[in-house]
Amino acid sequence: MSGLRVSWQGGLAALLALAALLMLPIAEPSAGGPSVTAAILLLVALAIAVDAAPAGTMVRAAALLVGAHAGVYLLLGDLGSVNGAARGAFYLLLVSCWLLAWRLVSVLSSIRAASRTGEVALRLVIPFLFGVWILVLWEAIVRGAGIPFVLLPPPSAIAARIGNSLPILAADVNQTIFKAVLVGYVMGCGAGFLAAIAADRFVFMRRGLLPVGNMVSALPIIGVAPIMVMWFGFDWQSKAAVVVIMTFFPMLVNTGAGLAASGHMERDLMRTYASGYWQTLFKLRLPAAMPFIFNALKINSTLALIGAIVAEFFGTPVVGMGFRISTEVGRMNVDMVWAEIAVAALAGSVFYGVIALLERAVTFWHPSIRGG
């Protein structure tokens, strides 16, 4: 039986809550009134007390979870619809709740999961809480300090905009991601890959193409977007062309490096079998190049998204993520801009994640993946 053990986050949270008590009210005007203020202080105090008590890890984590999140929920509610109503006590209690969430994450991080599902759940929950608190602090500061909407809308307004504009967002994603990005990505990566093989096979290609490719890669590729619009028209084809140009070179260079990555001994071994060029390529050099090729695929997944969105700034039909961003910012609808950015971030993460999963399956043998 150990006595009370107050963590530094808990202690500091308690001090801040006490200071807040002296600086009430939380907001001017206060939407919730004294009863809500009392509830917030009670929740925070309870969480600190349970965390300090000799209770089980799960009990402490549950108390911290409820205390930090219910507390901050009530706190935000107390602001009401008036922006810039927050007073000193608001920020003190906000930091106090945030410290409790911090404490929660460190309690969770110290748990040794007994089962595999528990381990996976923990690995997801911790970054999720982290992300949630970035949004919470963003929301609280923007609304509490009354930051103008056009400068930075609160996440709740962006979420509401996403919820209200699902058909538009879906049409934009379809136009930009499923047409321009995917088609351009497949063509650009495929062409880069084949060019690397050709450069490996034929000396004149290696001598001629690679130096020219090096120069092309130094061009500000986004500058060719207007030219692509003239060549391929306003629709997604011109954006796909920009993506092709952007993704071609990283794939060419990485595949080239990958083909050179197999060891001398392994190549000598293939030679002792009197193996031909293509047999050596398929059985040794391409498998050995896979980590490099996946590197290019991952780099290109983000490049393709950037390329397609920015290319739409230069002329497009009235649909597409880049089109929406450039027109809505002109109309001061920044919540729509942020909504598109959020959707693009989500799409980019999914794209990257799928390729990373594929990489794990294909290069399972590489020390960086099997670990050791």
Partner 1 sequence: MSVVQAQGLGLTFNTNDGPVHALSNVNLTIEKGEFVSFIGPSGCGKTTFLRVIADLEQPTDGTITVNGLSPREAREARGYGYVFQAAGLFPWRTIERNVALPLEIMGYPKVEIAQRIARTLDLVNLKGFEKKFPWQLSGGMQQRASIARALAFDADLLLMDEPFGALDEIVRDHLNEQLLQLWDRTNKTICFVTHSIPEAVYLSTKIVVMSPRPGRVTDVIESTLPKERPLDIRESPEFLAIAARVRDGLRAGHSYDD
Interacting residue with partner 1 among 287, 299, 333, 347 (CB under 8 A):
287
Instruction: Compute how many residues bind partner 1; rule: CB under 8 A.
Output: 23
Cα–Cα distance, 334 to 289 (Å, whole number): 44
Q: Is 369 in the site for partner 1 (CB under 8 A)?
A: no
Cα–Cα distance for residue pair 311/314, rounded to 1 Å: 6
- Residue 91 CB, nearest distance to partner 1 (Å)? 54
> Is residue 217 involved in binding partner 1 (CB under 8 A)?
no
Angle at 139 between CA 137 and CA 144, to 5 degrees: 95
Spell out a b/e string for 311-345, using b for 16 or more CB atoms within 10 Å of the CB, else e: bbbbbbeebbbbbbbbebeeeebbbbbbbbebbbe
CA dihedral 106, 108, 114, 119 (to 10 degrees): -100
Q: Which one of residues 17, 50, 94, 270 is an interface residue with partner 1 (CB under 8 A)?
A: 270
- Among left, alpha and beta (phi > 0; psi -120 to 50; other), residue 315 is left
Looking at the Cβ atoms of 22 and 274, the one nearer to partner 1 is 274
Which positions from 313 to 352 touch partner 1 by CB under 8 A, shown as an x/- string? ----------------------------------------
Residue entry with tokens 């011109």: 238
User: What's the maximum distance between 2 C-alpha atoms anywhere in the chain?
Assistant: 87
- Give the residue, chosen from 164, 174, 279, 302, that forms a contact with partner 1 under the rule CB under 8 A: 279
97's enclosing H/E stretch is helix 88-109
Scanning 46-54, 96-104, 220-228, 283-291 for contacts with partner 1 by CB under 8 A, the matching segment is 283-291
d(CA 341, CA 365): 36
Quick one: which segment of 55-63, 272-280, 328-336, 351-359 binds partner 1 (CB under 8 A)? 272-280
Which of 201, 370 has the CB closer to partner 1? 370
Give the residue with the Cβ less far from partner 1, 235 or 266: 266
Rounded CA gap, 8 and 110, in Å?
16
Residue with tokens 């909504």: 339
- Nearest approach, Cβ of residue 293 and partner 1 (Å): 13
Q: How far is CA 93 from the centre of its chain?
A: 29
265 lies in the binding site for partner 1 (CB under 8 A): yes
Stretch that binds partner 1, among 37-45, 175-183, 245-253, 273-281 (CB under 8 A): 273-281
> Can you read off the two tokens belonging to residue 165?
């504009």
Q: Which of 311, 144, 330 is nearest to 236 (CA)?
A: 311
- Which one, 39 or 286, has the nearer CB to partner 1? 286
Cβ-based nearer residue to partner 1, 284 or 341: 284
| From candidates 222, 284, 299, 306, binder to partner 1 by CB under 8 A | 284
Q: Does 361 bind partner 1 (CB under 8 A)?
A: no
Half-sphere exposure of 281 (CA within 13 A, CB side): 11
Check if the beta carbon of residue 234 is closer than 8 Å to that of residue 256.
no
Minimal distance in Å, beta carbon 358 to partner 1? 15
Using CB under 8 A as the binding rule, whether residue 368 contacts partner 1 is answered as no
Is residue 295 a contact residue for partner 1 (CB under 8 A)? no
Binding site for partner 1 (CB under 8 A): 263, 265-266, 268-275, 279, 283-284, 287, 290, 363-367, 370, 372
